[in-house]
Amino acid sequence: MESWIKVNQMEKNMNDFKMGPIELEFESGMIHVIVGGNGSGKSTLFKQIMNLVTFDAGSIEVFGSNVAGEDEGWKKRIAYQPQTLVGCDEFTGRQLMQLISPLYPNWNQSLFDDIARSLSVPLNKKFGKLSQGVQQKLAIALTLARDTDILLLDEPTSHMDIPAKSRVMDLFVEWMERGEKLIILSSHQTEDIRKLADYLLFMSNGKLHGKFVKDELVSSFKKYWLEKELSSQIKLPGEIDRKNNRLIVTNDAEKAEAYLLSHKIGWIEAESLEMDEVISYMVVNKNGGVL
Amino acid sequence: MDLPIRLAKDSKTPIYHQIEEQVKALIAGGHLQAGTALPSIRALSKELEISVITTRRAYLNLEQQGFIKTTQGKGTFVAEVEADKKKEVTVAAIYQALEKGIETGLRHDYSIEQIEEVFTEIIAKLKEKGEKANGELD
């Protein structure tokens, strides 16, 4: 595990939007999934990493090179897939492949052919004539075949059907096993997160709310059905939600349980949360605070 | 290949430890023979829906304890495990399961004596059943 991308105290001020300061590292060997709503700043962060959008303070380094610097050699080692490909509509998949492949020294033709075939992408149809889901499949074939060290994917599976999504998840896993690799993807899909993520990152309003090892985060959440009502004056450690003063949700299960035990408060059942519940609490923290 | 591992999300036992225990049990029980290829860390992580950090920790511990071995570029395999060590795993699993039951009793404010009574009762019932089963066989 090496830190391949470093974001140092990066800030950007737009008219009605302030981004950062963001301090963050992405490590090799890991799949990082960034979760955040529209306008959270995740697409902007991707573009800043690719030096397509500027920032006002701080710095971003990819393989030790400043992205805003003269040397752009690092760009050959990173493949970025935006949410929508602009300017491709008039080209067929095959033509796009012929345009893109010479730009990448590691272009892997057989990998492209395999992916296009396994996802049933028609290469003779114009991009603009394809459905959004098929456009995404083609985009993935065009991105993965570059065989770069880093993949930066902005909501790559959002329009795909379930079988295609599952195939693409396998492709990502296979791609990670091609060597020392790093994937950063943004996604709203719980499946992507459950099956792929090593680290989860949450963004909203241009701020980053932490980077978590997926299963450590999930296991820190727990809900308790208490035997008796808990006075609304008392707050459990890590409490983030409660219903009827009997059902309490905490994001610090260890401390909450210690508290219940030491105060002789009994519970009928303690249960872990599902991934989508954890994400909901992380994205929309009901108490307004930042976790 | 896939492994029949089931993680108990609500358990207090850390996930890496659950994986270790279950892989050891599969090896000790003879379900995984020496030389069997294990899934890669990435593949198992996807299967179990956990981070590679957790899976790697389990594999490292299993390797240090001599249950599996990793060959660079080839993958991870079940190691030759001595019969004594396999037996140890089985004994440890039995101890652990019983300890868990006893802890449940204590949590419900049972005294050690009361738990002992329950234990004796269960054993007695099992013996009775066993005798019946044997009787039918005869």
**Three-state secondary structure along A199-213?**
EEEEEECCEEEEEEE
CB-based contact A51:A80 (threshold 8 Å): no
d(CA A188, CA A169): 14
Same-domain pairing of A183 and A232 = no
B135, two tokens: 């009787």
Residue B65 belongs to some domain of the structure: yes
Other residues' Cβ atoms within 10 Å of the Cβ of residue A30: 20
Q: Is A82 on the interface with B (CB under 8 A)?
A: no
Q: Residue A287 has what pLDDT?
A: 41
Chains A and B form CB pairs within 8 A to the count of 42
Q: Are residues B119 and B76 in the same domain?
A: no
Q: Is B46 on the interface with A (CB under 8 A)?
A: yes
Q: Is residue B1 part of a domain?
A: no
Is the Cβ of A224 closer than 8 Å to some Cβ of chain B?
A: no
Interchain CB contact of B15 with A (< 8 Å): yes
Query: Does A86 share its domain with A19?
Result: yes
Whether residue A289 is predicted with pLDDT greater than 50 in this model: the reply is no
Burial grade of A91 (CB within 10 A; 0-12, 13-18, 19 or more): middle
CB contact under 8 A, A213 and B49: no
Contacts 24+ apart (CB under 8 A), A238-246: A240/A281, A240/A285, A240/A286, A240/A287, A241/A281, A241/A286
What is the pLDDT, as a whole number, of residue B133? 63
Determine, for residues A215 and B54 on separate chains, whether the beta-carbon distance falls below 8 Å. Answer: yes
* A219 vs B: CB within 8 A: yes
Mean pLDDT of B77-102: 86
- Interface contact B42, partner A, CB < 8 A: yes
Residue A9 to residues A12, A21, A57, A60, B11, Cα–Cα distance (Å): 10, 5, 7, 9, 39
Separation between Cα atoms, residue A173 and residue A30, nearest integer Å: 11
β-sheet bridge partners, residue A143? none
CATH number of domain containing A149: 3.40.50.300
Cβ atoms of A142 and A100 within 8 Å: the answer is yes
Same domain, B71 and B89: no
CB A152 within 8 A of CB A182: no
Query: Number of folded domains in chain A?
Result: 2
Kindly determine whether residue A194 and residue B49, on different chains, have CB atoms separated by under 8 Å. Answer: yes
Q: Assess contact for B35 and B77: CB atoms under 8 A.
A: yes
| Distance of alpha carbon A25 from alpha carbon B132, whole angstroms | 66
- Name the percent of chain B lying above pLDDT 70: 94
Task: Give the closest-approach CA distance of A191 to chain B in angstroms.
Answer: 9
Chain B residues within an 8 Å CB radius of A195: 46, 49
Which range of residues forms the domain containing residue A249?
A: 222-272
Which residue of B10, B46, B54 is in closest CB contact with A173?
A: B46
Position B134 confidence tier, pLDDT thresholds 50, 70, 90: low
Same domain flag for A91 and A202:
yes
User: Is the Cβ pair A173, B50 closer than 8 Å?
Assistant: no
Indicate whether B93 and B77 sit together in one domain.
no
Task: Give me the CATH number covering residue B25.
Answer: 1.10.10.10
Q: Is residue B42 domain-shared with residue B66, that is, in the same domain?
A: yes
Quick check: B68 contacting A, CB < 8 Å?
no
Asked whether the beta carbons of residue A215 and residue B42 sit closer than 8 angstroms, the reply is no
How deeply is A103 buried, as exposed, middle or buried, from its count of CB atoms within 10 A (0-12, 13-18, 19+)? exposed
Same domain? A148 vs A183: yes
Is A195 near chain B, with CB under 8 Å? Answer: yes
Given a contact cutoff of 8 angstroms between Cβ atoms, the answer to whether B41 and B55 are in contact is yes
A173/B contact by beta carbon, under 8 A: yes
- Both A24 and A111 in one domain: the answer is yes
- Take residue A162 and report the two structure tokens written for it: 């379930």
Q: Does residue B10 lie within any of the structural domains?
A: no
Cis geometry, peptide bond prior to residue A82 (ω within 30 degrees of 0) = no
Q: Which domain holds residue B95?
A: 84-137
Residues B74, B95, single domain; the answer is no
The answer to whether A130 faces chain B, any CB pair under 8 Å, is no
CA A156 to chain centre: 10
Residues A26, A162, single domain; the answer is yes
- Asked if residue B60 and residue B24 are part of one domain, the reply reads yes
Selected residue of A31, A167, A198 to mutate for chain B interface (largest B Cβ count, 10 A): A198
Taking 50 as the threshold, does the pLDDT of residue A269 lie above it? yes
pLDDT digits (tens, 9 = 90+) for B54-70: 999 999 999 999 999 99
- CB neighbour list of residue B136: distance below 8 Å, 6 or more residues apart: none
Write down the ipTM of this complex: 0.86
B77 plus B19 within the same structural domain: yes
Query: Is A215 in contact with B52 (Cβ distance < 8 A)?
Result: no
Which of chain A's residues have a Cβ under 8 Å away from the Cβ of B9?
A: 218-219, 272
Out of A216, A236, A261, pick the residue that ends a domain: A216
A180 touches A147 (CB < 8 A): no
Rounded-to-10 torsion of CA A275, A278, A283, A287: 160
Contacts of B107 in chain A (CB under 8 A): none
Q: How confident is the model at residue B138 (pLDDT cuts 50, 70, 90)?
A: very low
Query: Which token pair is A208?
Result: 């980053």
Number of structural domains (chain B) is 2
pLDDT exceeds 80 at position B82? yes
| pLDDT, tens digit, 9 for 90 and up, residues A63-73 | 999 999 989 88
* B9:A272 CB<8 A: yes
Are residues B97 and B133 located together in one domain of the fold?
Answer: yes
Nearest CA distance, B47 vs chain A (angstrom) = 7
CA-based nearest residue in chain B for residue A193: B49
Q: Per residue in A111-158, pLDDT tens?
A: 999 999 999 999 999 999 999 999 999 999 999 999 999 999 999 999
| Residues 6 or more apart in contact with residue A282 via CB below 8 angstroms | A35, A200, A202, A209, A217, A291
- Measuring CA to CA, how many Å separate A205 from each of A40, A50, A174, A190? 5, 21, 34, 21
Per the DSSP assignment, residues forming a β-bridge with A203 are A208
Judge whether residue B91 has pLDDT over 90.
Answer: no
Distance CA A151, CA A4 (A): 12
Q: Are residues A85 and A114 in the same domain?
A: yes
Does pLDDT of B135 surpass 70? no
B43 at A interface, C-beta within 8 A: yes
Query: Which residue in this structure is represented by tokens 């060597």?
Result: A179
Q: What chain B residue is nearest to A214 in terms of C-alpha separation? A: B51
For A272-276, what is the mean pLDDT?
Answer: 91
Does B89 lie in the same domain as B70?
no
Question: What pLDDT, in 10s, does the model give residues A10-56?
Answer: 999 988 889 989 999 999 999 999 998 878 899 999 999 999 999 99
Return the pLDDT at B136: 54
Question: Residues B28, B73: one domain?
Answer: yes
